[in-house]
A and B are shown apart, each in its own frame.
Chain A
């Protein structure tokens, strides 16, 4: 006669009620899916946001007080409201020990009467070819490269700007109103950042052509990795007539915006896990009650309480292992769908993958699901282990 191991008995017991076992596995699987996706989202969102902020090239932006520091704000303000600071501010910034490097910028806007029905604003960002490309080293070129002469009449276009203007390397551009002809020397690849819509020109040329010699609208500051950025920001505030825009602040603000959504999703995950736990307990407990006499007979044949406990516990663990595997498969397979859903729900989502599921995260999810199984299985297993053989056999036919 073939001797069955306790694991085989447990598996056979689960197969006796296939539908119930399958539904329990699905319940655990859904909980594991939510959990893995949530953990993956926590990691993915932070990583993607950090990458987006790193892609800005500098951690702190200094602008003249009240000056719109991005092209979009300038457009919203109709090209007005530019405020300037003196180039001498660079020496003050470089004197700070936390500063790794700086890059001066000048933004200028002109009204193009021939754009659209009633004209539009064109913005140009003057940059220093000696420092800006180094800070934005992640920017790749589709055609050409950065200009090197800070006074040349040339331009580098972000991908979207080039697409709108249908420009390629060697083509000409016109700064309306000023009648200045620029030669396109570079087209950037799409970066998913605001640089895609920017027209970069040499800062010295822009200063001279617009009569803004010695003036800047912004300074990008790259902070030393180990330095205290907050302390630097506080000292920068002491400089006259400047405003400090910290990318760390931006990150914190965005993180606080999504924190509510994260808490909501976490709550759903906890509820799902609790429901799964109750489901597991219910399934195993029902199975124990249904096999009351059977367990009694096993014990009367010599099975010890610890054997019965182990058998019932094993059933729980098998359910949880299957459910965990299903949940992880769902999380991996549907990561892109989850990504899309989150992007529709959140007010701001960074570029890049929002759901990052890797080996350690899968192991964590699996461990949590297994832990739930072990805890959930304890009570039914304890109840089964306490079955008295005679009582259970007598109860037959009740």
Chain B
């Protein structure tokens, strides 16, 4: 028993630092890519950070586009983002990207699958802790995001949660009024996710038409 205990301890000492890795990577990229892009033939993983791609200037630009500042201990310029470029043969057919977002009771990880033009093809939560998580994780909720792109979020104020009446964002329904915090956190995360994809993957195709750009 002594030997077993010691050996287990060694094992734990070895594996714990590995388990400790934090980031918003897909839980199982091979499986998730195939599920989100059934016709894909491969994917490439891209690692990027705001600090590495453009430093303070890029941080300011992302915050301006988001309409909110990055907050807290963990939403910083050096956060490593993991993006997936999806291929069919040599052709890029889309992207997958998830971000960490502070929710009411824990970290939220909304994941987006985008087509090559930056339009949302699929939305789901990889992680969400809430009493009403079941409603937010329901496919019906995720389907409301399909077809949206960053342009649709132009009038959405992530700080106040206000959207332009009649806009596609205003049409997104919160399935659980008691989970309003996480609903708004989700919209902020989706907008942030789309901005980062535009910056890191799409060559800022949605930036040109911004009024102050």
Minimum Cβ distance to chain A for residue B155 (Å) = 27
Q: Are B127 and A116 in contact (CB under 8 A)?
A: yes
A357 partner residues in chain B, CB cutoff 8 A = none
| Residues A250 and B107 in contact in the complex (CB < 8 Å), given A114-B137, A162-B73, A166-B101 | no
| Residues A173 and B2 in contact in the complex (CB < 8 Å), given A250-B9, A253-B10, A254-B10 | no
Residue from A114, A194, A252, A347 whose CB has the most chain B CB atoms within 10 Å: A114
A348 partner residues in chain B, CB cutoff 8 A = 10, 13-14
Q: Are A249 and B6 in contact (CB under 8 A)?
A: yes
Q: Does B211 contact A (CB under 8 A)?
A: no
Interface of A is mostly: mixed
Q: Does B41 contact A (CB under 8 A)?
A: no
> Contact size class for A?
35 or more
| Residues A168 and B16 in contact in the complex (CB < 8 Å), given A112-B129, A179-B131 | no
Q: Are A166 and B106 in contact (CB under 8 A)?
A: yes
Q: Does B166 contact A (CB under 8 A)?
A: no
Q: Are A244 and B20 in contact (CB under 8 A)?
A: no
A187 partner residues in chain B, CB cutoff 8 A = 73
Minimum Cβ distance to chain A for residue B31 (Å) = 9
Q: Are B10 and A257 in contact (CB under 8 A)?
A: yes
Q: Are B72 and A166 in contact (CB under 8 A)?
A: yes
Q: Does A394 contact B (CB under 8 A)?
A: no
Q: Does B97 contact A (CB under 8 A)?
A: no
A16 partner residues in chain B, CB cutoff 8 A = none
Interface of B is mostly: mixed
Q: Are A166 and B131 in contact (CB under 8 A)?
A: no
A253 partner residues in chain B, CB cutoff 8 A = 3, 6-7, 9-10
Q: Does B126 contact A (CB under 8 A)?
A: yes
Q: Does A172 contact B (CB under 8 A)?
A: yes
A173-200 contacts to B, CB under 8 A, are 173-174, 176, 179, 181, 187, 192-194, 196-197
Q: Are B8 and A73 in contact (CB under 8 A)?
A: yes
Minimum Cβ distance to chain A for residue B198 (Å) = 23
> Contact size class for B?
35 or more
Q: Are B5 and A249 in contact (CB under 8 A)?
A: yes
Q: Does A72 contact B (CB under 8 A)?
A: yes
Q: Are A165 and B106 in contact (CB under 8 A)?
A: yes
Q: Are A115 and B127 in contact (CB under 8 A)?
A: yes
Q: Are B2 and A249 in contact (CB under 8 A)?
A: yes
Q: Are B6 and A72 in contact (CB under 8 A)?
A: no
Minimum Cβ distance to chain B for residue A246 (Å) = 7
Checking B12, B103, B134 against A70 with a beta-carbon cut-off of 8 angstroms, the contacting residue is B12
Q: Does A164 contact B (CB under 8 A)?
A: yes
Residue from A52, A112, A247 whose CB has the most chain B CB atoms within 10 Å: A112
Q: Does B133 contact A (CB under 8 A)?
A: yes
A187–B74 alpha-carbon span in the complex (Å): 12
Q: Are A194 and B16 in contact (CB under 8 A)?
A: yes
Q: Are A163 and B6 in contact (CB under 8 A)?
A: no
B1-51 contacts to A, CB under 8 A, are 1-3, 5-10, 12-17, 19-20, 22, 27
A166 partner residues in chain B, CB cutoff 8 A = 72, 74-75, 100-103, 106-108
The 9 closest A-B pairs by CB, nearest first: A114-B133, A174-B105, A166-B107, A166-B102, A249-B6, A165-B106, A250-B9, A253-B6, A160-B20
B residues within 8 Å of A by Cβ?
Answer: 1-3, 5-10, 12-17, 19-20, 22, 27, 72-75, 100-108, 125-131, 133-134, 137
A residues within 8 Å of B by Cβ?
Answer: 52, 70, 72-73, 75, 112, 114-117, 142-143, 160, 162-168, 171-174, 176, 179, 181, 187, 192-194, 196-197, 243-247, 249-250, 252-254, 257, 347-348
Question: What are 11 of the A-B contact pairs (CB < 8 Å)?
Answer: A70-B16, A114-B133, A115-B129, A117-B27, A164-B107, A173-B106, A197-B16, A245-B6, A252-B6, A348-B13, A348-B14
